[in-house]
Structure 1
Amino acid sequence: MALVQYSDSESEDSQGESVRPPAKKQRPERTPLPEPSLPPLPKAFHDLYASSTRISVKDDPSLHGGRKRAIPHVEGNWPTHIYLEWYPLKQELTVLSDVIEQIEQKRRRCCTRLNSLLRSDLGAQLPLHISLSRPVVLRTEQRYSFMDTLRSAIRGSKISTFDAQFEGLDCVSNYERTRWFFVLRVKKPEGDALNRLLRLSNQSLAPFGQPPLYESSAHVVDATTSPIGSMQWQQGATPHTPKDYSHCFHISVAWTLAEPSPEEREQISNLDLREINGLAVGFDCVKAKIGNNITSIPLSNGVD
């Protein structure tokens, strides 16, 4: 094989020090720019993506952490719920997450999983809410007349926007006693807005044959002896005496399939809730969800 011939200049370079590449010019240091502060998403945006994709046409609890559908899916029936919605801010989410972490620490010996309601399985933030109705069912032909009834009732009431605060943690069951929820109790707001909205919700659903939430001719919650999920016979109420259900209103933050033991309840009652009790949540509209469609009905802003 022939040898490759190099020029004299190339051989001299090879015998001396290796040739260094020219030094790069140093660029002047740049002052890091502050990250742009993005405006919050409009409230209506969350209504557009409030429902998850249906992955089964049958009630399969294994797909939902063991939950069972309270209302079976029937063609022509529309699951309906009236509520006040809260999307916690970043700082509020931190406080709520700390409370859930405290609950988990108290439940170390419990064999059932504690499921947070703050985020989905994929990590997306979920809205929290105060219920103003049970999960009920409307027929297809009832949807629009019901919405007209509810919208007229709320607008005619002139109920103003209001702030709500919390006053403790409790554990309650749903009506079927298939799930137990860890909830933040809500204080009675100024103007008694929650009781007034509850009455309007129940009155709007009554003509469509739907059962009321809390307010009932047969059952009522007794706040002095029972948790929210327990019911006992109503005593001493008349149709002309509006009852005060302030002790019933709450926001659920986590759930489990097993009823907490008395020991767990006692431990949970001793959690540090100072930061939670200091929060104030503003509500400016009522939401009605019929199927996957959500309608927002604004409360009065005090301006005629």
Structure 2
Amino acid sequence: MSALSYLCEYESNSEDSDCDNKNTSDVKKIKLHVPDLSDIVVAPRDTYKDNPEVHGYRIRSFPHERGNWASFVYVKYPDVEFFNILIDKLQKELCCIEESWQPCEDIHISLSKTFILKYHLITPFTSSLQKIVSDTDCFDLAFDALKVYCNEEKTRTFVALEVDYFCNKHLTKLSQKIDEVLKEYKLPKFHDSPSFHASLLWINGNKKTELKNNLENLNIILKQHLHEYSKTTCISRVNCKIGNKYFQYSFQ
């Protein structure tokens, strides 16, 4: 007999005793049967094991944890062909030095560091972000030179396109607005003196010293490329990636 059946029998006996006005001391107490749960499969807690091969042996800035959404705010440059042609030229030059250089995916210009956002904060955070960037004026985006960067942990090196002087002024004002939202949610703000850039190629390790002597040749390639494909593009929105979710916020 199941535990539920015993419980029903117990309740039935109790009701009968009430109807017969019997003393509570005369009620027969039923000892419930303890069910055998040994054959029931218990689902284990979610676990995550990092596989470096999946992401080119890149080292995470912070460990994967359920409920934590890796997030960042950025600007997109819409002309993908402009980047692809330049990346191909630069990669051929760099692979003569070291073959491990890889093209960056989803090329963008960061307006924040990568930060952790809890799920319940996604909606209010995105609403605050939309509100604060809505009064931004559109501006032209153009690039000036190639530079070499390392991430904060010095585990990866990047060859990147640095934006020109005028675009840098617009992006600085925009990032300061975004810093206000980050501060509201107690999240780390962007760099004090940011160097706005679009990373094109990456390699594991700190290779800044090795690339110092080759940077001039890379910028010659860039100048030729800009001469052939010279143009600016208008930026009218900000993007935000939160985990696997993408958001866009248009300017006025």
TM-score, normalising length: structure 1: 0.61
Partner of 1:266: 213
Distance in 1 separating the partners of 2:167 and 2:145:
18
In the alignment, the residues of structure 2 paired with residue 92 and residue 163 of structure 1 have an alpha-carbon distance, to the nearest angstrom, of: 17
Give distance in 2, aligned partners of 1:281 and 1:103.
28
Distance (Å, rounded) in 1 between the aligned partners of 2:207 and 2:82: 29
Contact conserved, 1:202 with 1:213, CA < 8 A, in 2?
A: yes
- Counterparts of residues 168-247 of structure 1 (less than 5 Å): 168-189=145-166, 192-215=169-192, 245=194
Offset of 1:210 from its aligned partner?
1.0
Tell me the equivalent position of 1:131.
Answer: 110
User: Which runs of 5 or more residues in structure 1 are unaligned?
Assistant: 1-55, 118-125, 216-220, 222-244
8 Å Cα contact 2:71-2:114 kept in structure 1: yes
**Coordinate RMSD, CA, aligned:** 2.2
Residues 59-93 of structure 1: per-residue CA shift (max 9 Å, x gap):
22122111122232212211111000124343552
Deviations 1:173-228 (A, max 9, x none): 1111111111111113359320111101111111212111112xxxxx5xxxxxxx
For 2:86 and 2:77, the matched residues in 1 are separated by 14
Aligned pairs (5 A) from 1:5-84: 57-84=48-75
Which residue, 118, 122, 147 being the options, matches 2:126? 147
CA distance in 2 between counterparts of 1:252 and 1:191 reads: 16
Give me the whole-angstrom Cα distance separating, in 2, the residues matched to 1:185 and 1:149. Answer: 28
Structure 2 stretches of 5 or more lacking a match?
1-46
- Cα distance, 1:259 vs structure 2: 1.9
Shift in CA distance, 60/263, structure 1 to aligned 2, threshold 3 Å = closer
The answer (yes or no) to whether the contact 1:103–1:268 under 8 Å persists in 2 is no
Matches of 2:80 and 2:168 in 1, distance apart? 25
Residue 294 of structure 1, CA deviation: 0.7
Which residue matches 1:282?
234
Distance 1:69 1:102 in 2: 28
Task: Compute the displacement of 1:97 (Å).
Answer: 1.9
Distance 1:191 1:115 in 2: 27
In 2, Cα distance between equivalents of 1:195 and 1:146: 21
1:288, distance to aligned residue in structure 2 (A): 1.0
Deviation at 1:258, TM superposition (A): 2.5
**Shift in Å, 1:280:** 2.2
Distance 1:251 1:91, change over 3 A: closer
Is contact 2:83-2:200 (8 Å) kept?
A: no
- Identity over aligned pairs, percent: 24
TM-score normalised over the length of structure 2: 0.72
Question: CA shift at 1:113, angstroms?
Answer: 0.8
Query: Quick check: 1:296 aligned with 2:245?
Result: no
> CA separation in 2, counterparts of 1:152 and 1:212?
18
- Aligned with residue 163 of structure 1, among 131, 140, 149: 140
Change (3 A) 1:169 1:178: same
Q: How far apart, in 1, do the equivalents of 2:142 and 2:72 lie?
A: 23
Which whole-Å deviations, capped at 9, do the CAs of 1:86-114 have from their partners, x for residues lacking one?
24343552233212322323x2xx3x610
**Mapped partners of 2:242, 2:112: distance in 1:** 12
- Larger helix fraction of residues: 2
